Structure 1
Amino acid sequence: MTEQPRPAAPTGLIPSLVGIRGYLALIVVVVHLAPFAVALVPATEAFFLPFWHHGYVVLDLFFVLSGFVISSGYARTFARWPGWPTFGKFLWARLSRFYPVHLAVLAVMVAAVLGSRAVGREIPHGGDLTWDLLRQVTLTSGWGGADALTWNGPVWSLSAEWACYLVLPVLLPLVQRLRTPTAAVLGYVVACAIPLVCYSFLGFDDGTITYGMPLPRAFGAFLAGCALYQLAAVGSRIPQWLGRVTGPVVAVAVLAIVVAASLGYPSMLALPVVGLVVPALAQRHGLVDRFLSTRVSLLGGEYSVALFLVHVPWILAASLVVNPRTFPGPAWGVVGILLLVAGAFVLAWLAYVVVERPAQRWMRRLVRRAPAAPARPIEERVEERVEAAPNGRTDTSP
């Protein structure tokens, strides 16, 4: 009997892992829109409250996704210490993805806060112009020890992910020591346990997991994504099995969140199940993969960073005008909700076109690519494929 070939780890562009980012960012928007929407139209409470209280798990899935994608693109580069020039180019490539638009949004927000104070108004969560602002600029607002989310609150997650990048030369070699499927599965379980065990003692409250002590959450989920990639790299057939039932895997992940919430447990306890969505999609099979690989989904993935960064400042600023006093009653309240949503999308598009994309190109031109790394992170090479694909589908080759 001939031995069956071992399955290979996924390589190249994985469109569905780009497309899913847009929908995850949309859920984050719904989470942050929820209190304003319920205030405008109390009848929407049944729809928005579940997202408000339990939708935060999509950020954990973002961390898993990031760990998986970074591993797929840089596993060989960081199998051993690559040297400071290569590491610097890696960090520069990651910064080019989000830092220019982050600085642009932050600058606009500072100007808006100062302007509103000049006319006797106050945009919520403005923060101070010293320590809080410095933590935002230096991407350390998500490293813990804060008393509240200030300025652009969602940046805490990008800051925590940045911390994972800074120690990647240590993390990836450790994960690559998991050289058997059993070891990789155990590594995934241990990685998922890091935040779950830590917060069992510290508390799963929103303050602890976002600004008080968010790094266990980020490092655990990021490492879980790295371990899932390693599971494929060592030839396990588990990812292939998951890929054959991607739709049910997604349904079970949602069900795990619902069950945890209905039993009164923190939704983050569903992380070990939710994380399995990533390797399932990486197999590029099934209806869910095809849906997330459509042109619309891929464009949503491209705009996801901009949407993630602009929506909270926009909602906070717009709430000075769009509120129950100026938009009274259900009919006007619905108009107010639609204005908040439409404004977030328009600003995300502007931020992408005016700041994010031009800044990415400029930053990449400043340095040559690292010898063993992709010219750009995998999820950032989709735009040209989208524009070139006449049927809305993209090539999956690297």
Structure 2
Amino acid sequence: MSTPARAIRPRGESPSGTGPAATGEIRSLTGLRAVAATWVVLYHFSFTPGVGYDGYWEPLRPVIRAGATGVDLFFVLSGFVITLTYLERVGRTPSVRQAGTFLWARICRIWPVYAVVTAVYGAWLVAKATQVTDGNVAYQTVQPVLDVGNFLLQFTLVQLWWHPASGGESWMGSAWSISAEWLAYVAFPLVALLLWRIRNAPLVLLGATAVAVMVPLGYTTYVHGGPVIAWSWLLRIGAAFVAGALTCLVVRRIRRTPRVEQAAASCALAATGAVAVGLWWGDWRGIDNDHSAFGGIVVVFFPVLVGALALSRTGLSGLLSRDALVHGGRISFGLYLVHIPVFEVFWTLMGWWPKIAVGTSLWALLLVPVLLSTFVLAHLAHVFVEEPARLRLRRLWPQQQRPAVVPVRAAATLAGPRLPGPRVDTPLAVASAQGRAARSADATAPVPDRRAGWLSA
């Protein structure tokens, strides 16, 4: 899908179905992205006037109420896949060129569709500003500033970097996390130097640290009902991204045997159960309907969940690897970007047009189509903007040509002592080597980048 190399199997499985494809995509984690994106979308949709926790929504209240926590799950996933994809390239032989190539790859992935949505939604805000008299052009407590300077800040993804609070700095309320993740990308070449040097630390220490770095975020949520303190956005991206990166260091060194896969599948289910219990507790504690998300304490289980899913293929991992969920994960970036503009336009028109005001028949008829339209638009954005633009932009800065790679097991035999790095018999190492071999067949083609999807919400 992202390269003309014919040897790549798009379904994410080897011909025998026994290991990852040459792209190295971990389908269960891609499917988890779809779940996280839908979680955030439903949370924001619950703010639609007239839509309350009743009827079909009531059983989902503990989950929806903590929907903002889906952003932290995205950050953990991002740290994991960025480390999996780029650690050896950026951390083993650090250079300005490698750092620049990495950052350009990230720009190619996240900027095109972000720029389109920002421009279109910005035009809507400007038009709406001419129609309202109270100055409220966006559904945010702090209203965004609509001028050329702030437009440039939005376009360069740095609008949040020097502000202690995330509200009002982004024209789209959810775009704060894109700005935060861009900061993590800029810092990754330096972070990778440290990750490379600790990659062989004891697995127990790395795993325990991955969970421990999420504890301050969980504690803040426990005390305040959400990460609402000053610079909490920096705590969220910093803790979750590092937790995901450390989880990757653990997973890439574990050989996936049947016993390991069975244990990982059980661990994934246990982590999911712990998340469910935490969300139920958070809903019970915040029953006053003040939208406090005490259930966000479940962030401490996210590194465990991500690592377990990466090591298993059955159970929850098998479910998340279904084609529909994997496609949902691939369009999740567009979904995260378009849903807020769609909802806010709908909310505005509800106030302007009496025919679709709260409680009318037409309003009730439009609720489901409006929600589903975000998924349709996300698919269209992925097909017609995200992928074509990424491929064209990548040609402007082609990857450095790599020599052909000997199959990983043979290379390990012929090369003598193994260089420091991931175990050559782990599935992640095999997938990485296969991906490099496939790319070498056409050095001028854009490098497959599916593993390191945007992974932000």
Tell me the TM-score normalised to structure 1 length. 0.81
Closer/same/farther in 2, CA of residues 145 and 290 from structure 1, 3 Å limit:
same
Name 2:274's counterpart in structure 1.
252
Deviations 1:90-119 (A, max 9, x none): 111112222111111111112112223334
Q: For 1:167, what is the secondary structure of its paired residue?
A: helix
CA shift for structure 1 position 175: 3.2
- Give, in whole Å, the separation in 1 of the partners of 2:53 and 2:32: 30
Deviations 1:44-88 (A, max 9, x none): 563565345312221111111111111111221232452111111
- Give, in whole Å, the separation in 2 of the partners of 1:331 and 1:141: 41
Name 2:423's counterpart in structure 1.
none
Uncovered stretches (5+) of structure 1, i.e. residues with no partner: 1-7, 382-398
- 1:342-381 paired onto structure 2 within 5 Å: 342-370=372-400, 375-379=447-451
Q: For 1:75, what is the secondary structure of its paired residue?
A: helix
- Give, in whole Å, the separation in 2 of the partners of 1:229 and 1:136: 31
Kindly provide the amino acid, as one letter, of the partner of residue 251 in structure 1.
G
- Give, in whole Å, the separation in 1 of the partners of 2:145 and 2:228: 19
- Give, in whole Å, the separation in 2 of the partners of 1:350 and 1:64: 26
- Give, in whole Å, the separation in 1 of the partners of 2:260 and 2:71: 22
1:21 to 29, 33, 44: 33
Deviations 1:10-34 (A, max 9, x none): 9922111112212211111101110
Uncovered stretches (5+) of structure 2, i.e. residues with no partner: 1-18, 287-292, 403-431, 437-446
Aligned length: 370
Name 2:215's counterpart in structure 1.
193
Kept after mapping to 1: 8 A contact 2:334/2:378: yes
Closer/same/farther in 2, CA of residues 225 and 48 from structure 1, 3 Å limit:
same
Q: For 2:311, what is the secondary structure of its paired residue?
A: coil
Name 1:124's counterpart in structure 2.
138
- Give, in whole Å, the separation in 1 of the partners of 2:97 and 2:260: 34
Closer/same/farther in 2, CA of residues 111 and 47 from structure 1, 3 Å limit:
farther
- 1:1-398 paired onto structure 2 within 5 Å: 12-36=24-48, 39-40=50-51, 43=54, 46=58, 49-80=61-92, 82-120=94-132, 123-125=137-139, 127-130=144-147, 132-143=150-161, 144-146=163-165, 148-149=167-168, 150-176=170-196, 177=198, 179-196=201-218, 203=224, 205=226, 207-208=228-229, 212-235=231-254, 240=261, 241-263=263-285, 266-322=294-350, 325=354, 326-329=356-359, 331-370=361-400, 375-379=447-451
Q: For 1:319, what is the secondary structure of its paired residue?
A: helix
Closer/same/farther in 2, CA of residues 371 and 281 from structure 1, 3 Å limit:
farther
Kept after mapping to 1: 8 A contact 2:76/2:242: yes
Closer/same/farther in 2, CA of residues 205 and 269 from structure 1, 3 Å limit:
closer
Kept after mapping to 2: 8 A contact 1:34/1:48: no
Q: Choose between structure 1 and 2: higher helix proportion.
A: 1
Worse-matched range after superposition: 56-65 or 75-84: 75-84
Q: For 2:173, what is the secondary structure of its paired residue?
A: coil
- Give, in whole Å, the separation in 2 of the partners of 1:84 and 1:228: 26
- Give, in whole Å, the separation in 1 of the partners of 2:277 and 2:26: 25
Q: For 1:329, what is the secondary structure of its paired residue?
A: coil
Q: For 1:286, what is the secondary structure of its paired residue?
A: coil
Closer/same/farther in 2, CA of residues 141 and 261 from structure 1, 3 Å limit:
farther
- Give, in whole Å, the separation in 1 of the partners of 2:401 and 2:84: 16
Percent identity between the two aligned chains: 26
- Give, in whole Å, the separation in 2 of the partners of 1:247 and 1:158: 30
- Give, in whole Å, the separation in 2 of the partners of 1:185 and 1:48: 31
